[in-house]
Amino acid sequence: MNNITSTFIGALIAIMILFNGTLSNALGNYTSSVIIHIVGLFCMIFILLISKSTVKLEKGIPLYLYSAGVIGVFTVLFNNLTFYKLGVSITLALGLLGQSLCSIVVDHFGLLGMKVVRFENKKYIGLFFIIFGIIIMTFF
């Protein structure tokens, strides 16, 4: 069951790119980003209500910790821009490559408070397969 749920989360991400990309093609990038966030915010308020959680602005939390939502805006904009040109699967495959590269850099230098995990040359093999796979997806 846990395996099915995990795969389902991935499926939802692909479906989300289709939904957001379609909206963005029709209304424009920025209008759709506002709508996507309004719908999401309403859903979050609903979840807060049914889970009876409370939200308060706590002091002493560095401001940059709240920046993930701002970065998320760029994720949405970037996905919507590429969805139209490259379709869903190549957009996602390139995104996965970006995630792998970024994780490697963050781990290697221990950025953003993460533990240092030095890059191993063996990882070039994995990166090679990812890039080779994307090339085949794009040209065949």
110 sits near other proteins (criterion: CB under 8 A): no
How many CA atoms are closer than 13 Å to the CA of 63, on its beta-carbon side? Answer: 0
Q: How far is the CB of 62 from other proteins (least distance, A)?
A: 9
The residue from 12, 59, 109, 110 that contacts other proteins (CB under 8 A) is: 12
User: Quick check: 33 and 76 in contact, CB under 8 A?
Assistant: yes
Q: How far is the CB of 83 from other proteins (least distance, A)?
A: 9
The rounded distance, in Å, linking the Cα atoms of 29 and 22 is 10
User: Quick check: 16 and 95 in contact, CB under 8 A?
Assistant: no
Burial of 83 (0-12, 13-18, 19+ CB in 10 A): buried
The rounded distance, in Å, linking the Cα atoms of 105 and 118 is 9
The residue from 29, 108, 109, 110 that contacts other proteins (CB under 8 A) is: 29
The contact pattern for other proteins, residues 41-80, with x = CB under 8 A and - = no contact, is xxxxx-xx--x-x-x--x--x--xxxxxxxxxxxx--xx-
109 sits near other proteins (criterion: CB under 8 A): no
Q: How far is the CB of 121 from other proteins (least distance, A)?
A: 10
At residue 103, what are phi and psi to the nearest 5 degrees? -60, -40
The residue from 59, 109, 110, 120 that contacts other proteins (CB under 8 A) is: 120
Nearest partner of 18 among 71, 73, 68, 92, judged by Cα = 92
Q: How far is the CB of 71 from other proteins (least distance, A)?
A: 4
Q: How far is the CB of 34 from other proteins (least distance, A)?
A: 5
Give residues 86-105 in contact with other proteins (rule: CB under 8 A): 86-103
